[in-house]
Amino acid sequence: MNAFETANKYRGISGIKLLKSSTRFVLRLVALLAVAISSWGVDGIQSAEAAPESAQSRSLYLPFKGTWYVCQGYRGKISHTGKDVYALDLTTNKDGVGNNGCTGDINASKDQLVYAPADGVLSYGTSNPDLIYFTLDTGGCLVIGHVVPNAYATGKYKSGQQIGKVAAAGTRNGGYAHIHMSAFPKGCYATTSVPMSSDYNFRFLNSQFQNAPDLISNGATNQYRGLQLSGPGASRPSTSINLAKGKRTYRSSVQNSSYESYRGVDGSTLTRWSSAQSSTLGPQWLIVDLGSSQQINQVITRWEAAYAPHFFVGTSTSSNCETASYSGSWYTVTKAASWSISLSLRSARCVMVYMDQRAPGMSNYSIWEFEVYKR
């Protein structure tokens, strides 16, 4: 039996306290404005309680190094129409942003290296060999051009590997050396491009391994013209282990013994934790005890269909995770997926996800894996 099954026990959650009375929990708001909360974020979606800092449901990096400037945005009048309506053209020349396209030194970006934005497969456009068709292992395709045609071998590439270099000004790139980017949910040019935003799972990470601006479309002509973006080049965060894997867990309830809380940290996406099921189910939680205070800066929640559209993630350095007070923030998401929350480096022993809103049609909450990292 854990402390959440013990009557009349208090536990603070970043200014929120829970009271257990028999089998019923009462949620009480306590001095919320007096509590200093870290601002974390989920997939760029703002919740009422927290301003997002950095998150996405897959690691997708800007495919260049250093600072670039958007010189033709979404719905650019020169060439961003049809299937390329949500394309961006970029130059390294900060003075190369014109009213209707790229201007100034036509070869300022010539020979700049292009890098794999994620793990995937490289091919070239049949009719446009200066366009890289990069099929992502996680689904979807990015078109990256205008590169030196066929300069790099087709096939499998790892995130951060060099996959091309910007071609000199010529007929294929409109007489101006630049990088072109557009995203497609299926094959490249199989459909119309989509905005490179969290709504379509195409949000990029920047040179600091944090979220670049969420490039949501607002329907404007030449949207994002002049926007500055900074890419990481070949750099990627150091590989790290999941600190939560195999560690002790606590939970508010369980569906049955096949869905115990330890299954949510066993390292397998074939097993999961599931809370009790009820049409009147109240708030639920899952906590992992890392065993000692660790430096962490990322939490991943891999939701089953019974996800929480609204949830809290908090941390504590207490040696007793069952009675600890948790500091953190609330998040809002729109679908069952793997949501990665990047946060400023902090010390934590206990990490909690607290759920107070069930997905439509669901009577429980369920998580395939609850992961904690120092990246």
More confident residue, 168 or 98: 168
Partners of 251 in the β-ladder = 286
Does one domain contain both 32 and 67? no
Q: Which pLDDT does position 239 carry in this prediction?
A: 64
pLDDT at 341 over 70: yes
Q: Which pLDDT does position 253 carry in this prediction?
A: 97
pLDDT at 47 over 90: no
Q: Which pLDDT does position 58 carry in this prediction?
A: 66
Does one domain contain both 211 and 342? no
Does one domain contain both 220 and 110? yes
pLDDT at 281 over 90: yes
> Which of 186, 202, 235 marks a domain boundary?
235
Does one domain contain both 44 and 115? no
Does one domain contain both 48 and 74? no
Does one domain contain both 92 and 217? yes
- Domain of residue 132, CATH code: 2.70.70.10
Does one domain contain both 94 and 219? yes
Does one domain contain both 159 and 195? yes
Q: How many folded domains does the chain comprise?
A: 2
pLDDT tens digits, 74-121: 999 999 999 999 999 999 999 999 887 899 999 999 999 999 999 999
Residue 114 sits at φ, ψ, to 5 deg, of: -115, 140
Question: Could you tell me the two tokens for 340?
Answer: 């990665």
Q: Which domain holds residue 50?
A: 3-56+240-373
* Residues comprising the chain, all counted: 375
Does one domain contain both 111 and 245? no
The mean of the pLDDT values for the chain is 84
Partners of 205 in the β-ladder = 61, 211
Does one domain contain both 33 and 97? no
> Which of 200, 217, 235 marks a domain boundary?
235
Residues 250, 251, 254, CA angle at the centre, nearest 5°? 135
- Give 38: exposed, middle or buried? Use CB within 10 Å, 0-12, 13-18, 19+: middle
User: What's the average model confidence in pLDDT over 46-73?
Assistant: 68
CA 339 to chain centre: 6
User: What's the average model confidence in pLDDT over 227-232?
Assistant: 96
Does one domain contain both 70 and 217? yes
- Domain of residue 333, CATH code: 2.60.120.260
